[in-house]
Amino acid sequence: MKIKTFIVDSFTNTPFKGNPAGVCLLETSIAADIMQSIATELNVSETAFLLQTENNHFSIRYFTPTVEIDFCGHATLAASKIILDTLNHETVDFTTHKGLQLHATLEDEYIKMLFPLYETTAYSPNQQLQDAFGLKDIISARFSKELDMVIIEVKDKQTLLNIDPNYQKAIESSDTIKEVVITSRSGDSEYDFYSRCFCPWIGINEDPVTGASHSVLAKYWSDILRKKEMSAFQVSNRGGFLKLKIISDTALEVRSNARIILEGKINL
């Protein structure tokens, strides 16, 4: 069996920036353990496995190098780039392993996607978690139960950039969370807010650019900034941008771009 496979840099217009994702186009179903082995072999933060079910509809599953996860924004963008660009579809719909419905289409130079929008509840990070990330002056902390994600706001971009986590201490601090997203208000006119995303609990120390986190960050910052449309930048070493528009209490429109870096086949 040969599986068409791509590496795509998501949330960027520039090669070798943004967040790399694997995309595998399946012609028939394969076992989850084989998908996991492929994701481990590709060793990017997430790999998406697509199986066409109708003309413009695909099932999609996401694997990190170590585990399957329910939803991944940058791998969805990478998958959309392949379907819209390589297969020349005008629109594409995805259904995740957990039944989440996703949609993407081309809009000018961007790929426009429809993501879920998630609420948060108050959260009090324990001292071990704060120490692991060197956090001293937390403005706010929230929790998303849908993604097992903690959102922590710090005072400014420089504080965000200075964070140097102890990942082992972070893992030991909690067995109930999968990600910590640290964010700050922007001090410039180009973006509304900045963030970094840390996921050592699922085998990714720092994720370069995280679409799923913005399903939480968009609602968080919309409430603070009183805005429905925002621009965001994730300040990892690679970096990447997202243009966000809240269209309902449960839906978020995300616009960005992606670059196909590598195309080949996996031989099984």
The separation between the first and the last C-alpha atoms of the chain, rounded to the nearest angstrom, is 5
| Alpha-carbon distances, residue 101 vs 43, 58, 111, 176, 244 (angstroms) | 26, 10, 17, 25, 18
Looking at this protein, which amino acid is placed at residue 151? I
* 243 Cβ contact list (under 8 Å, min separation 6): 110, 229, 230, 231, 232, 254, 255, 256
Which two tokens mark 51?
């199986």
Q: Which residue of the set 46, 179, 206, 253 is catalytic?
A: 46
Q: Tell me, yes or no, if 27 is annotated catalytic.
A: no
| Alpha-carbon distances, residue 216 vs 6, 84, 139, 149 (angstroms) | 28, 26, 17, 9
Catalytically active residues, by annotation: 46
